[in-house]
């Protein structure tokens, strides 16, 4: 029987109703495990209660704290399960995918759309499924396991605020699934690598993510440079139209983008569309942006784009 560690961080799965009727994380990892007795038949489980936070409150600093807990316990367990709120789970999964470089064991994030104390909570399925994947997986890496899907940590986005099928693999096919009989099936796993595992926890959270929209004013970008001071953000990610369009008619964003790049601010772009990614060579509005120095992030989720740039900047500091 595999020996797994459950790191609990809060989220809806751990929520109880507060005095005003709102949901608030309250249950520890041990309490979560006690709600799902079938875990005892799936693995030998230890619990590490890390914090009890709504995932809205999980910031890059918490990503590092979670990563440190994983790193400190990898040698002691066959796999790690992280219970986490759904709202920022994909961001945390993406960040861990960069911090835990070439991790040699499964690191599985899961949670629920409904508190586990509710009789019909999806957490009663998701938590055991996460244990099944962590215990049965021959494919190490960071994954989200949710509503039967196994999704690579760098490919997931939350797509629904209410239904149990809250996550989808966006940039590539799902990695696999947990069938209704409990069997774990990998279809498109993270490739196993011979590269050594390295722990790279340095992040620079000073990355600005902006979504363009019709009427977006250049002054929004020019305000990032204050006279005589270092730029407020060393990197800006623009969620652009379609395949990577940045306006240059009427409200022309290219001159201020050029000024930012000259001030040593890196400007990245990705499509605001869920599928297909960005390609700046397709349209003039993309080609002109590329000439101005905008770097294309290609087919990448917003969550992974943000984590990737924060991590890359952290390695240079």
**pLDDT at res. 19:** 87
Q: Report the pLDDT averaged over residues 209-227.
A: 92
User: Cα separations (Å) of 155 from 152, 171, 257, 259, 273?
Assistant: 5, 5, 28, 33, 14
Tell which residue, 42, 55, 41, has the closest CA to residue 8. Answer: 55
Above 80 in pLDDT, residue 317?
A: no
Residues 240 and 296 in one domain: yes
Assigned token pair, 158: 């939350």
Above 90 in pLDDT, residue 111?
A: yes
Residues 35 and 151 in one domain: yes
**pLDDT at res. 42:** 96
Question: Which structural domain, as residue segments, surrounds residue 77?
Answer: 3-199
Residues 73 and 125 in one domain: yes
**pLDDT at res. 137:** 73
Q: Which CATH number does the domain housing residue 261 bear?
A: 3.40.50.40
Q: Which CATH number does the domain housing residue 67 bear?
A: 3.40.50.1170
Above 90 in pLDDT, residue 232?
A: no
Residues 211 and 159 in one domain: no
Total domains present in the chain: 2
The end-to-end CA distance of the chain, in Å, is 43
Assigned token pair, 184: 């774990």
List 156's β-bridge partners, or say none. 169
Residues 137 and 13 in one domain: yes
Residues 40 and 114 in one domain: yes
Residues 173 and 242 in one domain: no
Domain boundary among 175, 199, 223: 199
- pLDDT confidence tier of residue 138, bands split at 50, 70 and 90: confident
- pLDDT per residue as tens digits for the range 275-310: 999 999 999 999 999 999 999 999 999 999 999 999
**pLDDT at res. 316:** 87
- pLDDT per residue as tens digits for the range 164-204: 999 999 999 999 999 999 999 999 999 999 999 999 999 99
**pLDDT at res. 139:** 85
**pLDDT at res. 228:** 75
Residue 110 is among the residues annotated as catalytic for this protein: no
Domain boundary among 199, 219, 254: 199
Residues 135 and 256 in one domain: no
Query: Which among 12, 86, 240, 304 is annotated as catalytic?
Result: 12
Tell which residue, 77, 142, 132, has the closest CA to residue 107. Answer: 142
Domain boundary among 176, 199, 222: 199
């Amino acid at each position: 029987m595999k020996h797994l560690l459950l790191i609990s961080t809060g989220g809806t799965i751990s929520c109880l109703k507060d005095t005003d009727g709102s949901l608030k994380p309250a249950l520890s990892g041990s309490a979560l495990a006690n709600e799902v007795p079938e875990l005892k038949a799936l693995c030998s489980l230890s619990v590490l209660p890390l914090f009890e936070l709504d995932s809205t409150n999980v910031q890059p600093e918490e990503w590092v704290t979670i990563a440190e807990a994983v790193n400190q316990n990898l040698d002691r367990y066959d796999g790690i399960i992280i219970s986490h709120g759904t709202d920022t789970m994909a961001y945390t999964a993406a960040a861990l995918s960069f911090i835990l470089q070439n991790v040699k064991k499964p690191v599985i994030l899961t949670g629920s759309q409904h508190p586990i104390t509710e009789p019909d909570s999806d957490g009663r399925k998701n938590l055991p499924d996460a244990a099944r994947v962590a215990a049965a997986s021959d494919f190490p890496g960071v994954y989200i396991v949710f509503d039967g899907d196994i999704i690579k940590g760098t490919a997931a986005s939350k797509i629904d605020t209410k239904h149990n099928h809250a996550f989808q693999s966006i940039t590539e096919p799902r990695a696999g699934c947990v069938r209704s009989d409990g069997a774990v099936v990998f279809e498109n796993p993270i490739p196993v690598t011979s590269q050594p595992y390295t722990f790279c926890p340095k992040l620079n959270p000073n990355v600005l993510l902006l979504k363009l929209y019709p009427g977006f004013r250049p002054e929004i970008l020019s305000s990032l440079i204050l006279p005589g001071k270092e730029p407020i953000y060393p990197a800006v990610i623009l969620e652009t139209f379609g395949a990577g369009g940045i306006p240059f008619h009427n409200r022309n964003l290219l001159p201020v983008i050029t000024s930012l790049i000259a001030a040593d601010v890196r400007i990245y772009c990705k499509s605001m569309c869920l599928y297909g990614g960005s390609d700046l060579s397709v349209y003039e509005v993309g080609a002109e942006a590329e000439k101005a120095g905008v770097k294309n992030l290609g087919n990448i989720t917003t969550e992974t784009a943000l984590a990737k740039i924060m991590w890359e900047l952290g390695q240079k500091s």
